[in-house]
Chain A
Amino acid sequence: MAKKPTLDLTKYVRFYEQMVYIREFEELIGKEWNNAAAHGMGGYMHLYSGEEAIAVGLIGGMDLSAGDCFIGHYRDHGYALAAGSDPGEVMAEICGKATGCSKGKGGSMHICDAARGFYGGYGIVGGNVPIALGLGWALKYRNQKNVCACFFGDGSMNQGAFHETLNMAQLYKVPVIFALENNGYAMGTSIERSHANQDLRSRVDSFAMRSVTINGQDIFEVHEQMAQIIQEMKEDPHPVFVEFKTYRYHGHGAADTPVTQSTYRTRDEVARAKEEKDPIKFAQAKLIELGVLTDEMITDIQSRAYASAEAAMKFSDDSPYPDPSELIKDVYA
């Protein structure tokens, strides 16, 4: 797939860069978590490291300025950054600052960017999936040539809401991409311990919905396939279920420490995934091989990504907390 001669390589260099930006952003948060209170961070904190190619490749295949849109769950920093949201505003939200994208009212789990078609990150497992049906319905209702992507985890597939939604989505042929980020675990529970049928893609066969499995660690495969599918969905509106196979590097959230992680996975397993399945390393090797990425470029991208994350943190640190008068605002439209 990646060998297709039509590959737009400059685009992939940009995707590579975006993945590195997301990684540096998340790793900085991970590092600064030790100092969370000083930054205003708190509560739950779910990092996206290891899964970057999915958001970058899929969102990169959508035309957000032309009305494509997406919705996600709480592991949502990467979606916003992939869509081009301002890293400072995302970081400020994570730190509960007035300048945050949700005015500091949502926090890490509830990033959004209406201007870029990001309908938000949601904290109830599976809760965002039915909403995607409505987003897709609105597109179809208005005869828009657009699609909606819905990101969720393997855990969501064990919610009744998921199954009601997929049935209706297929029944009404709404243009929604149900993007399963199958990272093998829902918190500390592996697929094996929570799904009677561990072939998750086949679980949607009963809805007669189009489905595909994609290696979520391979940005080329993610993007080429999704670009093709999105084009077809725009010509003929219909839902698609996509299983992205991926892996999460950090604990489920900040509270999932190395000690609690030891109840469900080994350090070895994590190390091996980082070594063998890293989406950034994979893209890097491929782009070098294709002759469009050099060592100097890599160093440059790395340092710019790091600087961007640091600048985002500084923007947040320099930002005020919300004014107390904000407490009662935004309850109603």
Chain B
Amino acid sequence: MARLRYADAITSALREEMLADDRVFIAGEEVGQYLGTLGVTSGFLKEFGPMRVVDTPISEVGILGLGIGSAMAGLRPVCEMMRMDFAMVAYDQVINHAAKIRYMFGGQFKVPMVIRGPSGVGRQLSAQHSQSLEVLFAHVPGLKVVMPATPADMKGLLKTAMRDDNPVIVMEALRLYFEKPDVLDAILPGLSEVPDDPDFTVPFGKANVLRAGTDVTLIGYSAMTIQCLKAANILAQEGISAEVVDLRTLLPLDMATPIASIKKTHRAVVVQEQWGLYGCAAEISAQIAERAFYDLDAPVQRVTGAFVPMPFARNLENISFPSEHDIVIAAKRTLGR
């Protein structure tokens, strides 16, 4: 077991898969000579050369087109978006093209590509650089959407994404990138541990019970799973036993795991970083209502970000997305406390 930061897990997954499969290449802004905007591809250009580590102009449409076409032609591209917000510039390539090609041509082609990059709230990055837009991808058949919360999942899910034969969107939590192993392990012992085995992968569509509990189920993904773990620690001090379920992938979505948990706890809180309206938490709550209504002792609670563009001012930013305390309050509400 290695104790890694989330960012190191990205590097490790990319590097191992590039070594294992020479069809894999990375394209994006500043991925090569600059050593990566956030350093995850540091040294890659030197190690793999300019055909496999492609520095691009600021042309997201071109980057994704490069990915889609070369994937159809048999390569396995990893397209880096410097921030996932910038994928919006090339949304058409993802939604109208990558997601459709398999079906529209009756299964004749496949698009084995990864679109990855940091996502979500950073630190005062304001309205155009802080969004967590997974809903826009998870709504669309033909795509897969991966949102890792832990270094091990980051590595294992990214490797699975790179081996998958479909377009996979991997949204990485910027807030978790450089969180130190010690900090993670203080939230939950072993949280930073990543298996050394180069064949370690994490399958899609299998949620993970990160912490067992009996009173209430906290359901999250990506950075919000970490918030749920922090909330569970606070609840524990107040004698409330929370189970934390990390969804890991939104598409495919594993509802069996959270529902099994709810059958035990009879209460659920679903947490999502950004806007709740028409969001992932809404979908998950609806499925719980459909499949586990009679197991519930209280209405499902959603904890979501404020329905506003991200403000810059630190104090406003801090209250715009769910804190562990918001989750604690929601959990207590399900318990009538």
Contact = CB atoms under 8 A, between A and B. Distances in A.
Interface of A: 40-44, 93, 96-98, 102, 104-110, 122-127, 155-156, 158-161, 186-189, 193-195, 260, 263-264, 321-322, 324, 326-328, 331
Contacts of B306: 327-328
A98 B315 CA distance: 11
Contact of A106 (B122, B127, B314): B127
Interface string B123-134: 111111100000
Interface of B: 29-30, 33-35, 37, 55-62, 85-86, 88-89, 122-129, 306-309, 311-316, 319-320
Given A322-B315, A331-B308, A106 B126 contact: yes
Contact of B33 (A122, A159, A264, A327): A264
A109 B58 contact: no
A124 B89 contact: yes
A194 B312 contact: no
A40 B311 CA distance: 13
Contacts, number: 135
Given A124-B128, A155-B57, A158-B58, A322 B316 contact: yes
A103 B58 CA distance: 30
A193 B55 contact: yes
Nearest to B35: A263
Given A158-B58, A327-B306, A328-B306, A260 B313 contact: no
A322 B33 contact: no
B58 A159 contact: yes
Given A189-B55, A331-B309, 5 more contacts: A42-B123, A104-B313, A109-B128, A123-B127, A160-B61
A195 B55 CA distance: 12
Overall SS of chain A's interface: loop
B313 A194 contact: no
A156 B34 contact: no
B34 A260 contact: yes
30 contacts: A40-B313, A40-B314, A42-B124, A43-B126, A93-B312, A96-B312, A96-B315, A97-B313, A104-B316, A105-B126, A105-B309, A106-B127, A107-B312, A109-B128, A110-B312, A124-B86, A124-B88, A124-B128, A159-B60, A160-B61, A161-B89, A187-B29, A194-B56, A264-B33, A321-B315, A324-B316, A326-B311, A326-B316, A328-B306, A328-B307
A93 B126 CA distance: 12
Overall SS of chain B's interface: loop
Contacts of B308: 327-328, 331
Contacts of B29: 187, 189
A44 B57 contact: no
Contacts of B33: 188-189, 193, 263-264
A321 B35 contact: no
Contacts of B309: 105, 331
A47 to B, nearest CB: 16
B307 A331 contact: yes
A-B interface, 6 closest residue pairs, ranked by CB to CB distance from nearest = A107-B312, A42-B124, A96-B313, A43-B124, A158-B57, A188-B34
B125 A44 contact: yes
A42 B128 contact: no
Contacts of A155: 57-58
B320 to A, nearest CB: 6
A158 B122 CA distance: 26
A108 B55 CA distance: 27
A164 B127 CA distance: 25
Nearest to B82: A187
Contacts of A195: 57
Given A160-B59, A188-B34, A331-B307, A107 B126 contact: yes
A109 B316 CA distance: 17
A43 B174 CA distance: 12
Contacts of B88: 124
Given A193-B33, A263-B34, A321 B89 contact: no
A187 B34 contact: yes
B34 A123 contact: no
A140 to B, nearest CB: 27
B124 A96 contact: yes
